[in-house]
């Protein structure tokens, strides 16, 4: 019997962080959080989960990517200024915060254009920091395929984001 309370207590924050960091929208992240655990429940009824952190992070990433793709296919959302938190320190001033927000929004939009596996591998590796072997196990693919997918995702994202142009704009 699976102790779901223990799983929620131990891994719930990781699932929430994954969904929220990718979606940057509380209601969407909450829906994704719930969908992730429902999908995990359905999966666990039929198969054994060997690595809960990687499995749940993968599920959350896939659910969040689905919502992100849906968001960019529909009209763009606007975020009221009063819902944006103030910077945490002076070092994270308005200019740095604006640059980081703009870059993250561009990354989200570019990721919505990536094929599902590439987007998932990129997010899990580069944003969540999950090691390649754990990603491979969660996605049931060889580690080499994870590396290839990550390389291709980075290459395509770099071209889509035109990072050289972004760096030129930041230079004085």
DSSP string computed for 93-105: -HHHHHHHHHHHH
> Is position 83 within any domain?
no
Confidence class for position 29, pLDDT limits 50, 70, 90: very high
- On the CB side of 18, CA atoms within 13 Å amount to 32
55 vs 111, higher pLDDT: 55
Global confidence as pTM = 0.58
32 vs 73, higher pLDDT: 32
* Alpha carbon separation from 82 to 23, 79, 86 (Å, rounded): 18, 8, 10
Confidence class for position 76, pLDDT limits 50, 70, 90: low
Could you tell me the residue range of the domain that residue 129 belongs to?
4-78+89-170
pLDDT in tens, 109-132: 888 888 999 999 998 998 888 999
> Is position 47 within any domain?
yes
**Residue 167: what pLDDT?**
46
Confidence class for position 58, pLDDT limits 50, 70, 90: very high
CATH number at residue 69: 1.20.140.160
For residues 19 and 63, give the distance between their C-alpha atoms in angstroms, rounded to a whole number: 8
> Is position 98 within any domain?
yes
| Residue (of 56, 69, 68, 75) closest to 21 by Cα position | 68
> Is position 84 within any domain?
no
Mean pLDDT of 126-154: 91
Question: What is the total count of domains within the chain?
Answer: 1
């Amino acid at each position: 019997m699976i102790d779901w309370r223990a799983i929620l207590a131990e891994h719930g924050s990781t699932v929430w962080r994954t969904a929220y960091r990718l979606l940057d929208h509380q209601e969407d992240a909450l829906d994704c959080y719930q969908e992730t655990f429902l999908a995990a429940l359905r999966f666990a009824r039929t198969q054994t989960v060997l690595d809960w952190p990687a499995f749940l992070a993968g599920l959350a990433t896939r659910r969040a990517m689905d919502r992100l793709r849906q968001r960019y296919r529909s009209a763009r959302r606007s975020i009221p200024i009063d819902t944006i938190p103030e910077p945490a320190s002076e070092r994270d001033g308005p200019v740095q915060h604006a640059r980081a927000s703009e870059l993250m929004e561009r990354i989200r939009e570019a990721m919505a254009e990536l094929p599902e596996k590439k987007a998932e591998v990129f997010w899990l590796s580069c944003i969540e920091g999950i090691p390649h072997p754990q990603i491979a196990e969660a996605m049931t693919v060889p580690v080499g395929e994870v590396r290839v997918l990550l390389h291709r995702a980075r290459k395509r994202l770099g071209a889509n984001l035109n990072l050289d142009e972004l760096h030129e704009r930041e230079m004085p």
